[in-house]
Structure 1
Amino acid sequence: MELYRFRRVDNLLGGFDELESQTIFFSSREYLNDPMEGHRKIYWEGDSILWENLFINYLLSFERLLSVWVVSGEEREIVVESYLPISGGIDDLPTVEYQNLFNKIVTKLKGYESCSKLIDTLGKRLDPVSENELFWILKSLHPVIIYVANTVYLEEGLVNKYFFSEDKLAAIEDIMLRNMAKFASGEIGAKEHHELEHLRSEYTHRAYTNKIEGLINSSRKNKALVLQDFPILYLQNIQRLMYPDWYVACFMSTFHNSASWAHYGDNHSGACLIYRVEEDNDALFLNLRSGNNQGQDEKAKTRRLKFYPVEYSNDNRDVDFFASLGQLTTPQLELCWYSIGDIVSDRYESLFSDESRWRKNYWDMFYHAVTRKSLDWKPECELRLIVSNDAGSSGKCNGYTLKYDFRNLKGLIFGIRMTEENKIKLIVAIKAKCKKYGVKDFELYEAIYSESEKNVQRRKLIGLSSYVNC
């Protein structure tokens, strides 16, 4: 069985040297061409225990960044991903003194009737809370959290002033109560949901004009992050508690599409690699290694990776946040999310009474998201290999690189516009590889446009194929 992978010549022979190193690059989601790949429509639905623990996690996350800002100021830019998300709880704070300080913040926050009422109302709400709703809930709650943490810091001598005027708190609480009543009750329809999405976008982009007009001091980035931007940054990062980061290597079941050659094959001047893949029970597989040099790193782990056909659809499944915290350990789930003291959430038993069923549903939802692209991409006929950050590979900031056995590279197709110079370089490199690994059946082709088929076809280069194999 053959599968195809388009590459630029400078990927194969240039700085990445993928042909010589026999590597396949697995790209992170951020570098894929469809920004909606891996998108999940997340909702929050839980009792008061789950909601209280969510707000405690929010408070833990905020206090961590607040403490960094108080200590370091603007001396070094805060990289949010270095501190969030927080997977542990209050008991995981490093000292008893730190735990006592944080518990003092929690106690003060619970003293506000509006906060206690919010948790109780959300716990009784029948409809799930959307991401846009939760953003506005957190955005409305955030000034109160700032004030409470600021007050405790003042009492403990950690700071010497309020971050904003104390007399503003009454106005903040009034706004918060009015917002909370509507959000928490769920008394908003489709029109309001659309408006919330629009408002969230407007809020985000308002920062651009503020920076242009000098209303946000560009030298005070950490202050803006902690006091203004934190709610949206928290929402973005907390989702990392759900599923592992994932990386994909894209292949296709056909090489005939001219648009694919243009987009992925460097406007037809690149190459299409032909991989020999294994068939087993209607599935396709390829063995890959994480070692530095094939055959020289005996400890390198060989993995049999499955090809997942991409399904093209504009529909996304709804994902329950509280039921999808798969990156946490069982003790973390039990202590930090599904219980408060001796009281256990009503959802715990329904979710985890059958752990095997939960795991199956969890991974079904994971692969459903990472194997979907919108209908616009359907002509690609893509299959993909997928690795996640718990797969044991050495990860880079933008992806993984794994090695294949050269004997699994069946052939190569020169693009219609590939230069003679690049063809010669590839022929020389392939001949050396064939000699090194004793390959006698490597196939070289050139791409041609077929007037009869009205698409890209290939023509075998018999003489050159014999040349690289001898």
Structure 2
Amino acid sequence: MTSDSHFENVVFRYRSIDALLGEHRELERQTVYFAPPEYLNDPMEGLRQVYWRGDRITWLNLLRHYIICMHNRFFEALLTEDTERLAPNTIAVFQSLDNFPTPIAKSLCEACIAAVEAGDLHAALLDLLASAERNISFSELQRLLRTVHIDWLVAVHAVFAERNLVPPMEGYVPDPSGLVNVLRALQTTIPKLQDQFSTIGIDVLNEIQQHMAEEMTLLSATQNADVLNPKRESIVFEFTSEYLKNLLKLVYPPWYVACFSARHDNAAMWSYYADNHRGCCLVFRRQQTDDGVTLRLNGPSGYGTRGTFRSNQNMPLDPVRYTAQEQRIEFFTNIGRLPLDPILRNWFRDDDGNTSPLAEHLNQERQEAWRSGYWENFTPPLLRKLPDWQHEEEFRIVISDILGLHDSHEGRTYTYDYDTLDGIIFGINTSLSDKVRIMRILEKKLQSRTVTEPFKLFQAHYSARSGRIEAHHLSLIERT
């Protein structure tokens, strides 16, 4: 029979048979994989509401950074077949004029910057952003950059053509005067609208305009479907949104999670995570330490003379909060992935050496307090999911990758020992042959177990009496 006493101080991890016994052989290799956010089931996970509040210097540098990335993307496109889509995550947001591989490459990019910055469209957009004494949302910035993107792309193409890297565009004479007038009008009217309708009203207006822009993009793509190819689509229609998403890499390092649950009896989780009840649920013993609840795992912890070394670690096991509330974070004052000098030089100083007042947090006397707050804000969004998922009662271990220890599948694969694994629950539909395969692996693995508590096996079944899934203890085949 089921007894909650079997499951004190434990967490559960639902797994499919393919994960346990297939290519990755998680049960035999005793592995726990930390997944990147794009592999998680909720696209809202880890979402931060990023906004921009800059001055003329920081906005000038952001627009320059956009041109640098556009130049790199254009060059990447020259080396790509028309039938290939440019990978969304390869936009080089860590590139600056400081670190081009050759003087020729730097000269080409500088020429692209000069060509764009010489135009009235660049001046109009910079004036609009620099005069905005308010928060600029992700969607508004995306819309504004899309407004200028085609004209700037034409300017970059012209620079490449001047150097005989691409053929010149025939029969197209850009006339940005209409867009310049639009941006100048927005610079005048938005403050008046803000006074009349408040910031919330401006946000609603921006959302409406964003939806209209997305519809216009779809319409344009449809009308040009005959000449549109995956590469061109990447450069013309997708670059702006992909740039802004990649730009957020400059704020926080990559993160990965291993997911557990406080429940072993949820039918939806058995169906979704354990292959329609054909898989299993692993029972892990959690530990209470002075730092909170942890799970002992072995994984990458640093670099040594022979490369990456691994060690046992008591890793924080944190409960997920189920809320629709998002964390708000300002971009310019939270660039945390770059060394101090490049941050100052490429984001907070202009060509004349003037430093933006927004760089005060980088002063020596304020750096420690800023860094402390920066890391305090890192984890909470990663432990948040929408209320729709609260039935999971999820626990997570989150790792960040500021040192590059986890940028490979191996670097995100941790191991556990069988002193930490307390038992396994077979699913309602786990086949007899799969149970036998699991039992044979356990016969070898449990020989090294040193804890006195027996390793327990359970069979999940639906109880009509309780109306829920219960775990029946298989006491006749208990392992020690």
TM-score, scaled relative to structure 2 = 0.86
CA displacement 1:293-345 (0-9 Å, x = unmatched):
xxxx9942333321121000011122211122222221221111111241111
Out of 67-76 and 14-23, give the one that drifted further.
67-76
The aligned residue for residue 197 of structure 2 is none
The aligned residue for residue 294 of structure 1 is none
Q: How much has 1:365 moved relative to structure 2?
A: 2.6
The answer on whether the counterparts of 2:47 and 2:381 sit within 8 Å (CA) in structure 1 is yes
Letter of the 1:20 counterpart: E
The aligned residue for residue 328 of structure 1 is 338
The aligned residue for residue 3 of structure 1 is 11
1:124 matched to 2:131? The reply is yes
Out of 194-203 and 328-337, give the one that drifted further.
194-203
Distance across 1 between alignment mates of 2:251 and 2:328 = 13
Residue of 232, 245, 270 corresponding to 2:241: 232
The aligned residue for residue 152 of structure 1 is 159
The aligned residue for residue 199 of structure 1 is 212
CA displacement 1:200-255 (0-9 Å, x = unmatched):
442454476457xx43433xx32332344322221222122222222111111122
CA displacement 1:170-190 (0-9 Å, x = unmatched):
2x3312430454268645624
1:95 matched to 2:102? The reply is yes
Distance 1:9 1:105, change over 3 A: closer
The aligned residue for residue 169 of structure 2 is 162
1:48 matched to 2:56? The reply is yes
Distance across 1 between alignment mates of 2:169 and 2:119 = 18
The answer on whether the counterparts of 2:324 and 2:387 sit within 8 Å (CA) in structure 1 is yes
Residue of 316, 328, 332 corresponding to 2:326: 316
The answer on whether the counterparts of 2:69 and 2:95 sit within 8 Å (CA) in structure 1 is no
Q: How much has 1:408 moved relative to structure 2?
A: 0.5
1:430 matched to 2:442? The reply is yes
Residue of 353, 356, 370 corresponding to 1:345: 356
Q: How much has 1:372 moved relative to structure 2?
A: 0.6
Residue of 228, 234, 239 corresponding to 1:217: 228
The aligned residue for residue 198 of structure 2 is none
Letter of the 1:250 counterpart: C
CA-based RMSD of the aligned residues comes to 2.8
Matches within 5 A, 1:27-66: 27-66=35-74
Distance 1:222 1:305, change over 3 A: same
Report the number of matched residues: 454
1:258 matched to 2:270? The reply is no
CA displacement 1:28-52 (0-9 Å, x = unmatched):
2112111111112111111111100
1:442 matched to 2:455? The reply is yes
1:385 matched to 2:397? The reply is yes
The answer on whether the counterparts of 1:114 and 1:177 sit within 8 Å (CA) in structure 2 is no
Distance 1:399 1:29, change over 3 A: farther
Distance across 2 between alignment mates of 1:64 and 1:330 = 24
The answer on whether the counterparts of 1:135 and 1:235 sit within 8 Å (CA) in structure 2 is yes
Q: How much has 1:453 moved relative to structure 2?
A: 4.3
The answer on whether the counterparts of 1:141 and 1:176 sit within 8 Å (CA) in structure 2 is no
The aligned residue for residue 4 of structure 2 is none
The aligned residue for residue 175 of structure 1 is 179
The answer on whether the counterparts of 2:460 and 2:470 sit within 8 Å (CA) in structure 1 is yes
1:307 matched to 2:317? The reply is yes
The aligned residue for residue 5 of structure 2 is none
1:26 matched to 2:22? The reply is no
The answer on whether the counterparts of 1:256 and 1:455 sit within 8 Å (CA) in structure 2 is yes
The aligned residue for residue 476 of structure 2 is 463
Q: How much has 1:8 moved relative to structure 2?
A: 1.3
Letter of the 2:155 counterpart: V
Distance across 2 between alignment mates of 1:108 and 1:208 = 27
Distance across 2 between alignment mates of 1:405 and 1:396 = 22
Secondary structure (helix, strand or coil) at the match of 1:236 reads: helix
Consecutive unaligned residues in structure 1, runs of 5 or more = 292-296
Distance 1:71 1:124, change over 3 A: same
Distance across 2 between alignment mates of 1:72 and 1:254 = 48
The aligned residue for residue 269 of structure 1 is 278
Distance across 2 between alignment mates of 1:209 and 1:232 = 19
Distance across 1 between alignment mates of 2:115 and 2:464 = 76
Distance across 2 between alignment mates of 1:418 and 1:360 = 48
The answer on whether the counterparts of 1:244 and 1:390 sit within 8 Å (CA) in structure 2 is yes
Distance 1:410 1:9, change over 3 A: same
Distance 1:435 1:204, change over 3 A: farther
Consecutive unaligned residues in structure 2, runs of 5 or more = 1-8, 194-201, 301-306
Residue of 79, 87, 102 corresponding to 2:87: 79
Distance across 1 between alignment mates of 2:441 and 2:265 = 25
Out of 175-184 and 326-335, give the one that drifted further.
175-184
1:417 matched to 2:424? The reply is no
Q: How much has 1:14 moved relative to structure 2?
A: 1.9
Letter of the 2:281 counterpart: C
Letter of the 2:41 counterpart: N
Secondary structure (helix, strand or coil) at the match of 1:315 reads: coil
CA displacement 1:126-162 (0-9 Å, x = unmatched):
1111111111211111123223323333443434412
Distance 1:442 1:210, change over 3 A: farther
Distance 1:398 1:404, change over 3 A: closer
